[in-house]
């Protein structure tokens, strides 16, 4: 087995299960060496906590890249999550350009909005910069809100399959090879992921939990990346990531005191088992 190395670029929220504190253990549990580049360090994440601290690490990016270039460090996969500014996106593109291999994969989670709105601090300039990052991606993992902003499509929660197909086609026209669109629901009480890769589509549906759990998108993206690096197919990776995320939600949603994230840690053996079964059947 050839050892693979993933670089994940996103923030560190010291408390609150999301971003790098999710990506590092999940991808590592998949048996993949995981390197990190923090975009910022926060005392907690920003959803529900008050008075959190924030330290931007943008100006550290060039020095880190120069050191990696001198050391000849290369990565088999780049997985980007929450990036704090347009300037960071420019640096990330440089990092990918100078530390990739010919066979490297780029996975972009354009974490910038939800429920039809951009996150605070993001604007049209940021959206346009994110389009540039999507253009160099092999796989883009947006939710419906992010897909609409990236493609200039009107956001709606009442749609049919044709609307989703058009969203995915528009995303692919930005330059990415494949789209994994999360939060796609075609009937009440259910949601799922819609995959478009090449000329093929795939939809995987699961039960929808009404309680909104922070960090589930990060759990999904990290699991998808880990499964892909383990050699799983695009569709299998999308399914494994969905099943694992649902397990984490089920492990959490009845506990009202655990409002800041999902307990993904206790379900890691379940993830490893899914990866093992899938690899045997591949």
pLDDT for 2: 62
pLDDT for 1: 47
Tokens of 42: 């926060």
User: Domain limits at 114?
Assistant: 5-281
Q: Would you say the C-alpha torsion 118, 121, 124, 130 has a positive or negative sign?
A: negative
pLDDT for 259: 83
pLDDT for 121: 87
Q: For the chain, what is the domain count?
A: 1
Start-to-end Cα distance in the chain: 15
pLDDT for 42: 95
pLDDT for 106: 98
DSSP 176: -
219 and 16 in contact (C-beta within 8 Å)?
Answer: no
Region of residue 259 (phi > 0: left; psi between -120 and 50: alpha; otherwise: beta)? alpha
Q: Per DSSP, what are the bridge partners of residue 55?
A: 41
pLDDT for 39: 96
Chain-centroid distance, C-alpha 54: 21
The number of C-alpha atoms within 13 Å of 196 and in the hemisphere containing its C-beta is 21
Q: Give me the long-range contacts of 46-52 (CB less than 8 A, separation at least 24).
A: 46/120, 47/16, 47/214, 47/260, 48/214, 48/259, 48/260, 49/15, 49/16, 49/260
CATH number at residue 255: 3.40.1190.20
Question: Three-state DSSP class for 16?
Answer: coil
**φ/ψ of residue 187, rounded to 5:** -155, 155
Q: What are the pLDDT tens digits along the chain (282 aa)?
A: 468 999 999 999 999 999 999 999 999 999 999 999 999 999 999 888 999 999 999 999 999 999 999 999 999 999 999 998 999 999 999 999 999 999 999 999 999 999 999 998 899 999 999 999 999 999 999 999 999 999 999 999 999 999 999 999 999 999 999 999 999 999 998 999 999 998 899 999 988 877 677 889 999 999 999 999 999 999 999 999 999 999 999 988 888 888 888 999 999 999 999 998 887 666
């Amino acid at each position: 087995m050839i050892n693979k190395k993933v670089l994940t670029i996103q923030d560190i929220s010291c408390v609150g299960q999301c971003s790098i504190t999710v990506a590092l253990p999940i991808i590592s549990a998949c048996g993949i060496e995981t390197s990190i580049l923090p975009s910022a360090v926060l005392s907690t994440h920003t959803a529900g906590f008050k008075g959190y601290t924030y330290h931007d690490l943008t100006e550290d990016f060039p020095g880190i890249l120069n050191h990696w270039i001198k050391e000849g460090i290369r990565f088999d996969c780049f997985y980007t999550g929450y990036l704090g500014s347009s300037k960071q996106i420019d640096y990330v593109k440089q990092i990918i350009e100078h530390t990739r291999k010919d066979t490297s994969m780029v996975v972009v989670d354009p974490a910038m909005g939800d429920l039809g709105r951009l996150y605070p601090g993001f604007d049209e300039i940021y959206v346009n910069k994110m389009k540039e990052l999507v253009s160099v991606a092999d796989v883009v993992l947006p939710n419906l809100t992010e897909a609409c902003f990236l493609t200039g499509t009107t956001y709606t929660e009442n749609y049919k399959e044709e609307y989703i197909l058009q969203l995915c086609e528009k995303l692919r026209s930005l330059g990415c090879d494949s789209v994994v669109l999360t939060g796609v629901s075609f009937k009440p009480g259910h949601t799922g992921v819609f995959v478009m890769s090449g000329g093929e589509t795939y939809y995987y549906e699961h039960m929808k939990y009404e309680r909104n759990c922070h960090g589930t998108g990060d759990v999904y993206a990290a699991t998808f990346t880990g499964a892909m690096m383990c050699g799983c197919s695009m569709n299998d990776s999308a399914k494994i990531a969905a099943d694992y995320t649902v397990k984490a939600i089920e492990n959490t949603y009845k506990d009202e005191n655990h409002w800041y994230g999902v307990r993904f840690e206790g379900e890691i053996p379940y993830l490893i088992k899914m990866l093992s079964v899938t690899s045997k059947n591949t």
